[in-house]
Amino acid sequence: MYKKTILFSVLFSFVSSEGKTQESCLANFDDRENRIAIIGDYGHDGQGNGSARVAKLVQKHKPSSIITLGDNIYPDFDKKADLDKLMAKPYLKYLGAHTGAQSGKKANRRFYPTIGNHDVKDGRVSTYLSYFQPPGNGRYYDFVCGPVHFFSLNSALETDGNTEDSEQAQWLKEKLEASTAQFKVVYFHHPPYSSGSHGPSKHMRWPFKEWDVDVVLSGHEHNYERIERDGIRYVVNGLGGNPYIRGFKDVDPESVIRYSAQFGALFLTIKKESLSFKFITIDGKTIDAFDVKDNGDSA
């Protein structure tokens, strides 16, 4: 389906799902290319300093904002001091753009997490909400970056449900219908399609094609995979630093690429009429690269 081209000069804010004005992630989107780093399952360093090495990779690429795909908090890092240490470079400066804003000053949000299964265990969801201070109700929300409308969902324990007939899904459907953005990207923790050891999380197989979604991002599996199904790119990225990298078992027939050799991050470059994705390892190797055009095509 062809999507109408929408041009942005300066985008300062948008109206959130709760009717309040909220900052967009790019306060000055113009003809420049803007880059977002996307990391998954990074909240536990362990031996090997995987999270620290991915953080250095992210710092090198100087993204304008950061998106996480869940599992931000593991048992060994569930205190504020531990989280500050884990987030120190470079994530804390992105998070602090809004959590550290002084009273009376407009925050410039640059850090957009989503909830993973480890974030809700043993009551850690309250720590997650207070530490990261996500937009909206904190559990699921949306925001705009230039021509892209992002939707962060909660695929873990959720009072509003996380199946396609849930209150959360109805919220997403209505927000997607109302969106005028060129591109629509949905992200959450549990992958609806996966060749990894956990396997697919079928409760998240929502009608994304019918709802005109371009890309679905998730984590949970400690590997990288891209699956192309019904014209939608389903990307799994859980190599943000958890030391337990996992391989693959039952390969999805629509799987395009699978990788589990080294940590890395997914980078999204936003242009006026296309989105460019690259998964880059901490060694600087590009493992996967694909584009999404403004007519919904991929390359």
| Percent of residues in the chain assigned helix, strand, coil, to nearest 5 | 20, 25, 50
Q: Please, what are the domains in the chain?
A: 25-293 (3.60.21.10)
Contact 279, 259 (CB under 8 A): yes
pTM of the model: 0.87
Least confident of 15-29, 171-185, 225-239: 15-29
pLDDT in tens, 160-193: 999 999 999 999 999 999 999 999 999 999 999 9
- For 4, half-sphere exposure in the C-beta direction (CA atoms, 13 angstrom radius) is 5
Rounded CA-CA distance 274/277 in Å is: 10
CB burial of 238-255 (b: ≥16 within 10 Å; e: otherwise) equals bbbbbeebeebeeebeeb
Average pLDDT along the chain? 84
Count CB-CB contacts under 10 A for residue 298: 18
Contact 152, 188 (CB under 8 A): yes
Given this model, what pLDDT does residue 219 score? 97
Residues 6+ apart with CB under 8 A from 240: 39, 40, 41, 42, 50, 51, 54, 68, 69, 219, 263, 265
Conformation bin of residue 153: beta by default, left when phi > 0, alpha when psi is -120 to 50:
beta
Given this model, what pLDDT does residue 34 score? 86
Q: Does 253 have pLDDT greater than 90?
A: yes
Given this model, what pLDDT does residue 22 score? 39
Between 294 and 53, whose confidence is greater?
53
Q: Does 294 have pLDDT greater than 50?
A: yes
pLDDT in tens, 192-207: 999 999 999 999 999 9
Given this model, what pLDDT does residue 87 score? 72
Name the nearest CA neighbour of 59 among 33, 31, 88: 88
Band the pLDDT of 121: cuts 50, 70, 90.
confident
Q: Does 75 have pLDDT greater than 90?
A: no
Token pair for residue 289?
A: 């690269």
User: Which of 62-76, 116-130, 201-215 has the highest mean predicted lDDT (pLDDT)?
Assistant: 201-215
Given this model, what pLDDT does residue 51 score? 87
Given this model, what pLDDT does residue 271 score? 87
Given this model, what pLDDT does residue 47 score? 56
Q: Does 12 have pLDDT greater than 90?
A: no
Rounded CA-CA distance 216/271 in Å is: 19
Band the pLDDT of 249: cuts 50, 70, 90.
very high
Band the pLDDT of 85: cuts 50, 70, 90.
confident
Contact 112, 25 (CB under 8 A): yes
